[in-house]
Amino acid sequence: MDEASQARLTSVGIECVLLDFDGPICRLFAGHPASVAASRLKARLGDLSLLPPELAGTDDPHGLLWEIATRSGGNAREVSAELNALLAKEEVVAAASATVTPGTADLVRGLRARGLHLGVVSNNGWEAIRNVLLATHLLELFDGPIVGRPDDARLMKPDGFMLREAVKQLGTKPERCLFVGDSWRDAEAARQVGVNFVGYAKSARKRREMTKANAKRVVSRMQDVMGLLP
């Protein structure tokens, strides 16, 4: 991270920090693997004879849902709604054994101590997000919007819909918000809306993903986000 990048971020007057959920806040599928959730979605698609061969090997339930939701024709809307509800149930199960990302609790408390507003914008379901934040005693620190996966899964990130909703609820401008995410979908949504973006990349694979997504600022520890702010 170069000094020029830091200056560009701190000079705009950040008022709100929005966090992605699975990754930056917690490891949602720590005890209930994402592959299990994906297998259940694929099983349902198999029952309906609607599982595309190219998606049969995926272990990413959110990517699977988005792929199905963004396809046209037939009863795609109804099928994606059913998968959305099924995934929400899997996420609630996973939330019971989720683990908080190291450094996030201290970051959240530090941001609030500075008077910054905090919100969540995530492709995960609202109930799972709330359950984890409540169980980890972090919910009370989020005074901003908690925007979870919409009913229309086509509006999941990388679409900018949810970030626009969060900025609108905050009553501020996109350039006064910072969004911390750990995927190319997060980076693309931020680009569409004009929100400042910081990539959280703990692994070499994630760092490559952030580089490919043209993320200008990348941290390997959540607590390092604080160093980007004045």
DSSP string, 160-195: SHHHHHHHHHHTS-GGGEEEEESSHHHHHHHHHHT-
Residues 61 and 87: beta-carbon distance below 8 Å: yes
User: How large is the average pLDDT for residues 1-17?
Assistant: 61
pTM of the full structure: 0.93
pLDDT tier at 1, thresholds 50, 70, 90 = very low
What is the model's pLDDT at position 7? 40
Rounded to the nearest integer, the mean pLDDT of the chain is 93
Positive/negative CA dihedral, 209, 191, 7, 106: negative
Q: Each residue of 66-96: pLDDT tens digit? A: 999 998 777 888 999 999 999 999 999 999 9
What is the model's pLDDT at position 11? 52
Q: Each residue of 89-140: pLDDT tens digit? A: 999 999 999 999 999 999 999 999 999 999 999 999 999 999 999 999 999 9
Q: Each residue of 180-221: pLDDT tens digit? A: 999 999 999 999 999 999 999 999 999 999 999 999 999 999
